[in-house]
A and B are shown apart, each in its own frame.
Chain A
Amino acid sequence: MKILIVDDNPQLRKLVRMTLEGRGHVLGEESDGVAALQTALATRPDLIVLDVMMPGVDGYEICYLVKSAPELRATRVVLLTARGQETDVLTGRGALADAYLVKPFNPDALVAAIERLRGGQPGPYPARRFARAQGEA
């Protein structure tokens, strides 16, 4: 798979890269949202691992733009964020993300999420939390 890693923190980019290395993926990195969108449009990755809290344009917006671009119809997005509240999960849903992981994340969980998405299955949304948030709304 061609995977683009987007995070403003270099340590976390490195962590994601090392997590995904050695599995036959082609990995690219970007440190801000706008550059990530340009790179995505130019290289059409199969998957983007996207941090939410970035200065400037945040991950939700980038996610939405990616998911609504016709040329990126096949691109999956995994949102990676330090936030873990119900509203954020809902925002992630609204931004059409395929999966949502909360930091600190388990590297194996990220690998598993990507494998599931590759197999055409839905990603690991915190289902219970999501249902509760929906019930409250």
Chain B
Amino acid sequence: MTRPAVLPADAASAPNASGRGDIEGELAAARDAAQRAEERLRTALAALADGFVLYDAEDRLVLCNERYRELYRISADLMVPGARFEDIIREGVRRGQYPDAAGGEEQWIAARLAAHRSANSVIEQRLPGGACLRIAERRTPAGDIVGFRFDISELKQAQDRLNLTLALSPAGFVCFDAAGRVAFVNPAFERMSGEPAQALLGLAQEQFDQRLRELFEPTGEAAPGDADVTSRLFFARPPKLVLKRSVRAGSGLTVHCYVDVTRDYEVDRMKSEFLSTAAHELRTPMSSVLGFTHLLLTRDYGRAKQRELVATVNEQAQRLSDMLNELLDLARIEARGGKDFRFEVQPLGTIVEETLSALHVRDDPRQVQVRLQDRHLLVNADRAKLRQALTNVVSNAYKYSPPDAPIELEVASEAGRAVLRVSDRGIGMTAEQSGRCFERFWRADPSGRIPGTGLGLSIVKEILELHGGAVEVASASGQGTCVTLRLPLVGSPPALFAPFAASSHTS
């Protein structure tokens, strides 16, 4: 078999034996032409930025360019004309030229040989040091194998960067290829959907949307599959999920980005619910104020009746004012998150005494019976805020118990925490009511006979939680209520200094 394009390097120096001058001349010219052609080819191959190699039909190396040797630096010395492909890669594997082969050498060699001999594949191959090649091999009509090596390290790195980024992203990504089928699903989307990527890959866009519908039982405004660029998807399946889907399409690809907005959505919903409840609660006393003043202005009543109506208006206006103050307190506490609390280590007993002596309940001569287990319990607290919390709890006890029933306040330490326990023997609450008593505006007495805003316990809860504490309610209908406030206890002096004592012993 002849080699049309590439001649052996020694062809030019073939013996010059013939005597016929013209033939000799032609032959010499032909040789020159061939030599020039080969020179040109070698120059071209040398200038090629990619690796080039030619094997003959017996799989022996015919030639390769310098770039090819550079790429396979570890086994470059093996790349000599006449070397067998299999020998080159076997020795290369032994020397560590092919990191992918490590651990499964024979398998790797068999696969590489098969790809090489079929000579119609494009494969990727890693090299030591993170470089990566794309190999394209083709068989020529003469039976040779032409091979190209393209350095795709940068492309590969960019791809790895993208994959790592997508793997770490909290947003879910689904990519569709030019044929509109799922080509990529990142781990965040697997977590959101509970579906492994394998189950989604290859699905057509419609099938994918159908799968979403099956998975999540969409509820609410936008169903998956809507064409808008950004849509909100509501999913009923537990755990309840609201996803925001953004769709971008470009150069034949479509990418879906899913962001979990469940929390934002819940917060928004709670905010508007709170606003409408607040508006309703403010409107009820406002109705009294406006209604009664209207009656006073438009109708003639006797002095006694007038006094009575003005008293009602005054009471309702007071209620409005209390509500606004408590709403503002609550909003301030929530917005600042305790940043404006002035924490100081101080004895809990003092705070309790101050609170009780400042408490005035109209027309109620009862005294709170205090049981102070330890006067020196120390807490790290904002005095004014903790007093406000305790005042709310104690005044609830006054309001919701009959005027002859005792109110008790116990101050103790339990399991390393300071405990304030306020118990009354009042109307109490059912289990269902106890469960709702921290809801804003919720009242145990909806009749309006007992004054209150329904915000007191919400404030108590916020204050305690910002102190690292907690509040619990235990109640039985008709028997009374017991509210327990728990606060972290600051170690008493001996406990505080104990570690120092211990370390001085060891040193």
Contacts and interface: CB of A to CB of B under 8 A. Distances in A.
A10 B448 contact: yes
Interface of B: 279-280, 283-292, 294-295, 298, 309, 312, 315-316, 446-449
B295 A12 contact: no
A103 B448 contact: no
A112 B214 CA distance: 56
A15 B447 contact: no
A46 interface: no
A104 B446 contact: no
Given A12-B284, A19-B295, A104 B290 contact: yes
A31 B446 CA distance: 10
Nearest to A18: B295
A31 B280 CA distance: 18
Which of A10, A11, A55, A107 has the most CB atoms of chain B within a 10 A radius of its CB?
A11
6 contacts: A10-B448, A18-B292, A18-B309, A82-B280, A103-B284, A104-B289
Contacts of A31: 447
Given A11-B316, A55-B446, A107 B284 contact: no
Interface in A1-48: 8-12, 14-15, 18-19, 31
A136 to B, nearest CB: 14
B449 A107 contact: no
A118 interface: no
Nearest to A54: B446
A11 B312 contact: yes
B287 A12 contact: yes
B284 A9 contact: yes
Given A8-B446, A10-B449, A83 B280 contact: yes
Contact of B286 (A104, A106, A108): A104
Contact of A107 (B285, B289, B291, B316): B291
A18 B280 CA distance: 23
Contacts of A55: 446
Given A82-B284, A104-B287, A105-B287, A11 B294 contact: no
A72 interface: no
A82 B283 contact: yes
A52 to B, nearest CB: 10
Nearest to B316: A11
Given A8-B446, A12-B284, A31-B447, 13 more contacts: A10-B447, A10-B449, A11-B312, A11-B315, A15-B292, A18-B309, A19-B291, A53-B280, A55-B446, A104-B291, A106-B290, A107-B294, A108-B294
Contact of B295 (A8, A53, A107): A107
A108 B312 contact: no
Interface size class of A (residues with CB under 8 A): 20 to 34
A106 B312 contact: no
Contacts of A14: 312
Contacts of A53: 280
Contacts of B285: 11
Nearest to A51: B284
A105 B448 contact: no
A11 B279 CA distance: 18
A92 B280 CA distance: 17
Contact of A103 (B287, B294, B298, B447): B287
A15 B299 CA distance: 13
A83 B287 CA distance: 12
Contacts of B292: 15, 18
A107 B288 CA distance: 10
A8 B291 contact: no
B432 to A, nearest CB: 12
Contacts of B286: 103-104
A103 B283 contact: yes
The 7 closest A-B pairs by CB, nearest first: A104-B287, A15-B291, A103-B287, A82-B283, A11-B288, A104-B290, A82-B280
A104 B283 contact: yes
B275 to A, nearest CB: 13
User: Which of B280, B291, B292, B312 counts the most A-chain CB atoms under 10 A from its CB?
Assistant: B291
A11 B448 contact: yes
A105 B315 CA distance: 19
Contacts of B291: 12, 15, 19, 104-107
Contacts of A15: 287-288, 291-292, 295
Residue from B280, B283, B289 with most neighbouring chain A CB atoms (10 Å): B283
B297 to A, nearest CB: 10
Nearest to A16: B291
Nearest to B288: A11
Contacts of B283: 82, 103-104
Nearest to A9: B448
B331 to A, nearest CB: 21
Contacts of A11: 285, 288, 312, 315-316, 448
Interface string A80-120: 00110000000000000000000111111000000000000
Nearest to B291: A15
Contacts of B287: 12, 15, 82, 103-105
Contacts of A107: 291, 294-295, 298
Contacts of A10: 447-449
A106 B292 CA distance: 10
A100 to B, nearest CB: 15
Contacts of B448: 8-11
A59 B492 CA distance: 58
A110 to B, nearest CB: 9
A12 B313 CA distance: 11
